[in-house]
Structure 1
Amino acid sequence: MAVTDEARAALDRQLTVDITTIGRRSGQPRRIETWRYLAGGRYWLTGSPGARDWYANLVAHPEFTLHLKDQDLHVRGRAVTDPEERARVFGEIVPQLDWAGSLESWIAGSPLVEIELD
């Protein structure tokens, strides 16, 4: 199902989102709060360098629910592992974060997932 323009506008406004993934081992839903980022005109999930359960869940089960204030979107996550694409996306995201540390550490060790809306 395609995401409406109204849903895209809501996602543009909302930086903090909840996501519900399916546990890679348990098969049970797991809901967490995280931040969404915008780079290259697309939406992304990431975090500071380190392992994340939500990322491992999305690699195993790419479909997830993106919870906005007034609606839930059923979307797909695309894990980004290509070094050039990671460098390009993090090159837009990390400089905007005054707490982020080095770009190199994010490229090397942060999860990166594109939120595929359509």
Structure 2
Amino acid sequence: MTEGTGNHFTSNVHGGDNVNIYGGTGNQGIVHHHAPAPALAEAVARLEELVAELRGEVGPGGARVLDSSLPAITSDATPPQTRRDALVAVSAIAATAGELGRPVVDAVTQVLALLGLG
């Protein structure tokens, strides 16, 4: 733009969703499915394998937490917040195992990202 030409430019560029809802009931807005099902299924399966390997390396209390968390993590029917809580619990147990738990922590981080919960 050249100074003094009187031209004004307006930009309506934005970097995210723009939703306008007027009236109605039970509106949900946009429902995002953050990861393709195969990518999520592969990441969860890998996490399951890693948790099985880690289970023998943690004490009985940690093993119970891992065992009780896996069903919530692997079920697609689990509410997002419950699934997130289970993933965080698994990550916390894995973190106590030091370097042995690092692959589990990384796998949990990946699953959380794929679910859009990270």
TM bin (shorter chain): under 0.3
Whichever structure has more helix as a proportion of its residues is 2
Q: Which has the larger radius of gyration?
A: 2
For normalisation by structure 1, the TM-score amounts to 0.24
Whichever structure has more strand as a proportion of its residues is 1
The structure showing larger relative contact order (alpha-carbon pairs under 8 Å, at least 6 residues apart) is 1
